[in-house]
Amino acid sequence: MAWGKWLRSRGWLSVLIACLIAAGPATVDAAAKKGDGKRPAATSVSKGKKAAGKRPVARKAKAAPRAKTKAKKQVVTASAKQRGKSSVRRVAAVVPARPSYGHAFGLHETADPLGLKSSVALVVDQDTGEVLINKNAQAVLPIASLTKLMTALVVIEAQQPLDEVLTITAEDVDTEKGSSSRLALGTRLTRGEMLHLALMSSENRAANALGRHYPGGLPAFVEAMNRKARELGMQDTRYVEPTGLSSRNQSTARDLALLVKAAYQYPLIRELSTSPEYGVAIGKRQLHYRNTNGLVYKDDWDIGLQKTGYISEAGRCLVMQAQLAGRKLIMVFLDSAGRYSRIGDAERVRRWIEELDFSRDMETEDGDPMPRVTS
């Protein structure tokens, strides 16, 4: 009678929970399997003797830190389940890449006979102006680091001394995209070294420092860039800064072909932009840089000038002057989808051009002129 009275006073449920806890994790698991199949919430119980007649109190699980940038998901490992604990491993969720302007405008839907991956392509004979390939060449798009070709042109035409030492400051740090740089604050290099790094390996801090050390500072430099664009007939081009990190630096393939032709007139731009490798001394350290265009390392390419570019809004971009099939050609590829697709497009164009006979009187069997790629 006393046992029954005690059970009624405590309640069946309380007694059952106390017995299960005393029996250990194995009994808890067995009870969960006999129930609705759900494990009870994990609890943390302090070691030592429990106070008599008191139910154990489950501690609150510590709240997981809120994700700041990327969405997170929780994964409970099998080994943790066996120990009766919840071990959380954080896994970054896949975030889709931001579409480029070319994708947003539907330019990638434009078909062409060569199957180019760039939404914009233009190939022009440098000497005659003959257009061999034209794919959306009139589209106005962000041009990323192709901007640095105009930066170099303005610096050289200003005839500023190339041996003058410039210093990287906080003003040269990228606040547009948050990109990194190997040129730490306080780095001192000559203007010529800065120009080399900007053209060959697309060093953003170097390009900004070049503009900042222009007479009148950065605003005067940007104005000089836009003035030069107008002089060259680049009617659809606009610059707002010298690096290309801003998507407001915009142009067309037609305008960029004019820029390549003008920049090619300067041997220094040709030499620095096509240099495969370059090293600079930073105090006791030697920094080694490589060209961002893999085609300069290939023996079957005769490249006279080149510049690459990339930001998400612009896609992968490339401009070149190259000699193919006995001709000096200017090639422009904008908004290419895929890391190596702009290089692949250049190879597709080269193979196509080398299959053609560019003699003036060459005709097909039907008497028609040789085909050109337009879209």
Choosing from 145, 246, 273, 341, which is the catalytic residue? 145
DSSP annotation of 154 reads H
The whole-angstrom distance between residue 76's C-alpha and the CA centroid of its chain comes to 33
> 91 - beta bridge partners?
73
Given the residues 100, 117, 119, 148, the one annotated as active site: 148
For Cα atoms 77, 83, 88, give the angle at the middle one, nearest 5 degrees: 35
Alpha helices in the chain (DSSP H): 2-10, 12-23, 25-34, 78-82, 101-104, 147-157, 191-200, 204-212, 217-231, 253-263, 267-273, 341-354
Distance CA 89, CA 75 (A): 5
Phi, psi of 288 (to 5 degrees): -110, 130
Instruction: Based on the residue annotation, tell me whether 148 is a catalytic residue of this protein.
Output: yes
**Alpha-carbon distances of 137 from 1, 102, 254, rounded to whole Å:** 97, 12, 6
Is 202 known to be catalytic?
yes
CA distance 158 to 138: 30
Q: Which of 192, 206, 189 is nearest to 156 (CA)?
A: 192
| Burial zone of 207 (CB within 10 Å; 0-12 exposed, 13-18 middle, 19+ buried) | buried
Is 9 a residue of the active site? no
Active-site residue, selected from the candidate residues 100, 201, 202, 246:
202
CA 230 to chain centre: 29
DSSP string, 243-306: SS-STT-EE-HHHHHHHHHHHTT-HHHHHHHT-SEEEEEETTEEEEEE-S-GGGG-TT--EEEE
Which residues are known catalytic residues? 145, 148, 202
